[in-house]
Structure 1
Amino acid sequence: MMKKNPSELRVRLPEGANAALDRQTLAKWTIFGIVLLIAFAIRVYKIDSPLWLDEIYGYRLAKLGFEAIIQSSWTDAHPPLYCLLQLIISGFGYIQTEIGWRWPSSLNGAGCSDCVFRVFLLSAC
Structure 2
Amino acid sequence: MPKTQKTNYYKVLKLTRNTTIQKIKQAYRKLVLVYHPDKNVKKSEKERQQAEQKFIEIREAYEFLLNNHKDIKQKTQRQKTCNKKTKKKINEKMMSDEFKKMFSKAVSKTIYEMLKK
Shared fold (TM-score, shorter chain, > 0.5): no
TM-score by length of 1: 0.29
* Structure with the largest fraction of helix: 2
Higher relative contact order (CA 8 A, sep 6+): 1
